[in-house]
Structure 1
């Protein structure tokens, strides 16, 4: 499972647990939801550090891949790449 999906589902699950814990308290439902958002965010900061780090690493790697591909395409469009393709071999002379 993707780290982003894991982290998102964990955050939603933590929010649901906090809402259920606040359910018996006799206050306005919107106040319960606001308190649940705040507490679940604070708890996820400490409890889900590993998943958050995995997600950040995945995003960083994807960004680097995109940046490298963008540079490769720019150099190819500018004509800076090796003639004969990307394998680095020169074209056959007939």
Structure 2
């Protein structure tokens, strides 16, 4: 399971848990939802730090990979020989 899915499910789970804890408190439903949202966000900052860091690492790796692929494609389209590492040269050129 990817870190983004784990983190998202963890955030939703914390929200539901806080909302369940506030269920029996006598207050407006909208206020109850807002309080649950704020408290679950604060709890997730501390409790889900590992999953958040893991997700950020995966996103950084993915961005670096896309950046490298984009640069390799630009080099290939510009006709640079370095872009085609490992590929046989075109005999017609």
Q: State the TM-score, normalized to the length of structure 1.
A: 0.90
- Residue aligning to 2:15: 15
- Residue aligning to 1:86: 85
Q: Which has the higher helix share?
A: 2
Equivalent-residue separation in structure 1 for 2:79 and 2:89 (angstroms)? 15
- Residue aligning to 1:67: 67
Q: State the TM-score, normalized to the length of structure 2.
A: 0.91
Deviations 1:30-79 (A, max 9, x none): 00000000000000000000000000000000000000000000000000
Equivalent-residue separation in structure 1 for 2:36 and 2:55 (angstroms)? 23
Gaps of 5+ in 2: none
The 4+ residue runs of structure 1 with deviation greater than 6 A are none
Aligned to 1:20, what secondary structure does the other structure show? Answer: helix
